[in-house]
Structure 1
Amino acid sequence: MSTHSTVGRKPAAPAESSGTEAAARVADVLLLFTGGPRYLGVSSISRELGLAKAVVHRILQSLVSREMLATDPGVSGYRLGPAAVALGASALRRFDARTVATPVLRRLRDETGETTTLSGLVGDERVYLDQFESPREIKMTVDIGRRFPLHAGSSGKVILAFLPADRQEALLARELPALTEKTITTPDDLRAVLAETARDGVAVSLGERQPGAGSVAAPLFGPDGEVHGSISVCGPQYRFTPDVVARYRDLVRAAAEEIRHDWAWLRESGGAEGR
């Protein structure tokens, strides 16, 4: 039978499908290491992803052989390896928004005296990509690279508010776990907050993602007009009084617009490719 015939090509579809599924499993395993415990074992990964332990073990061994994951003597479980760290560092260097956001977020940190952050949209979650810490003794800091759901906290809500309606509704249809007692977990209540956020262009959180933490965030739009992340000012909740929050709203909104403008200019000038 000729391998170029129509009949000869049809049996390849299941293999292609199987290959896609296998690649997705590998990606899902790697993504688990971007949040939660530093070390993960076969059993915990198996439970989280609903995969057989034998399948998880094969994936882990393959990733270890390519230094995407590693093990340590005397420690049970796997951690991210040097190849994964290098890949993450390379991605950060190539993220245009991080380049243009750096001076703006530093200035915003100096203007407010609070920590400023940059988050990126990754799949259906967000990840902190950078932070500029407050010089104050009592301050808030974030975990770079850790994943968070979009419904909890100002940085996530402001991204969720500007996603396409169908994608937003799909996320609201999922379970909305409470990270604190102030996390909004009712879809209708969250829809009302998101509508207000979309009108105002800014989201506020007072203890929704982390107890005792306050934050004000604005969406970060890319040159394509889509929301790609957010920036925020964050600190101890007791310092986020109504007057302070009102001031931060204007500052964060203006900073996000400056980053959007500079990002578009960077793309148009070809500067991103030369970095």
Structure 2
Amino acid sequence: MAESSITSSGTGTEAAARVADVLLLFTGGPEYLGVSTISRQLGISKAVVYRILQSLVSRDVLATDPGVTGYRLGPAAVALGASALRRFDARSAAAPVLRRLRDETGETTTLSGLVGDERVYLEQFESRAEIKMTVDIGTRFPLHAGSSGKAILAQLPAWRRDAVLSGELSSLTDRTVTDRALLAEQLEAIAADGVAVSLGERQSGAGSVAAALVTPDGEVQGAISVCGPEYRFTPEKIERYRHLVRDATTEIIRNWTNGPSGAHAG
């Protein structure tokens, strides 16, 4: 069947999926995306991509700028994102704990959410040190690199973890582990310990210690981490942070499951 419009090409579900796929491309990569790039990445015709983009622009979900080729997220998308963050219960439950953890460690603390087979930074409380690590809120990262990603991946069901390991395992730094057998061994150890440690695996010169956020029914929601310059992550500090992040995840899950009365937005 020829592709003719957003609503008439295939089923309504397929059309909605295409719109969602287009929008998800804007959560990572360059700020501006053009018709050809989107068409190539999603494997759908330029005509259909163009109609989707025009529909989203008309609703202020996407926007264009004079003199710039391509589309960017518009004010409606920003409003939706802000609303989602406000309503994300884990963020509210985690905020006071992460703020205290930042003060206890002197390092930046973060909250990541699981999105498909990737993770996204949802919140951070920056270190007050002059030299510190900061993260990009809303940017997607693979699960196989870095402590937060590995902490999440280690707690996922075996079938889902195997699916990630069977896919592309790109090297983000020269320390990123891409050997599937070695990575599987590391994940098994992380699952048993409950904590993941990264020294330059996702970002050169960065150290981090993370633990997954797992609800009482076993659903993996994301992870929290303590992160900073690698040279400050000595074996003694790493061991201390391991205990702190374990305790912090327990408190966050307790706040979360207790509902609004147990969590306070930050």
Give the alignment's TM-score, normalised by structure 1. 0.89
Distance in 2 of aligned mates of 1:48 and 1:16: 19
Deviation of the 1:223 alpha carbon: 4.7
C-alpha root-mean-square deviation of aligned residues, in Å? 1.6
Aligned to 2:257: 264
Aligned to 2:137: 144
Q: In the alignment, residue 95 of structure 1 is paired with which amino acid?
A: F
SS in 1 for 2:80: helix
Distance in 1 of aligned mates of 2:10 and 2:252: 41
Which segment is superposed worse, 47-56 or 251-260?
47-56
Q: In the alignment, residue 203 of structure 1 is paired with which amino acid?
A: A
SS in 1 for 2:259: helix
Aligned to 1:203: 196
**Structure 2 counterparts to residues 1-275 of structure 1, below 5 A:** 18-266=11-259
SS in 2 for 1:199: helix
Deviation of the 1:18 alpha carbon: 2.4
User: Could you list the runs of 5+ residues in structure 2 that have no partner in the other structure?
Assistant: 1-7
Distance in 2 of aligned mates of 1:89 and 1:46: 28
Q: In the alignment, residue 172 of structure 1 is paired with which amino acid?
A: L
Deviation of the 1:76 alpha carbon: 1.2
Distance in 1 of aligned mates of 2:77 and 2:140: 16
Whether contact under 8 Å (1:42, 1:77) holds in the other structure is yes
Whether contact under 8 Å (2:226, 2:241) holds in the other structure is yes
Whether contact under 8 Å (2:9, 2:15) holds in the other structure is no
Distance in 2 of aligned mates of 1:199 and 1:222: 17
Q: Deviations over 1:81-134 (max 9, x none)?
A: 111111111111111111111110000000111000000011111100000000
Query: What count of residue pairs does the alignment treat as equivalent?
Result: 256
Deviation of the 1:17 alpha carbon: 5.6
Q: In the alignment, residue 40 of structure 2 is paired with which amino acid?
A: R
Whether contact under 8 Å (1:223, 1:263) holds in the other structure is no
SS in 2 for 1:29: helix
Whether contact under 8 Å (2:197, 2:210) holds in the other structure is yes
Whether contact under 8 Å (2:62, 2:75) holds in the other structure is yes
Distance in 1 of aligned mates of 2:180 and 2:11: 36
Deviation of the 1:216 alpha carbon: 0.4
Distance in 1 of aligned mates of 2:255 and 2:216: 9
Distance in 2 of aligned mates of 1:60 and 1:249: 46
Q: Deviations over 1:186-229 (max 9, x none)?
A: 21111101000000000011111111111000011235431100
Aligned to 1:5: none
Distance in 1 of aligned mates of 2:68 and 2:62: 14
Q: In the alignment, residue 152 of structure 2 is paired with which amino acid?
A: I
Deviation of the 1:67 alpha carbon: 1.0
Q: In the alignment, residue 32 of structure 1 is paired with which amino acid?
A: L
SS in 2 for 1:161: helix
Distance in 2 of aligned mates of 1:114 and 1:145: 20
Distance in 2 of aligned mates of 1:42 and 1:222: 40
Q: Deviations over 1:12-64 (max 9, x none)?
A: xxx89622222111111101111111111112212222222222111111111
Look at both structures and tell me which one has the larger radius of gyration over its CA atoms: 1
Greater relative contact order, per chain length (Cα 8 Å cut-off, separation 6+): 2
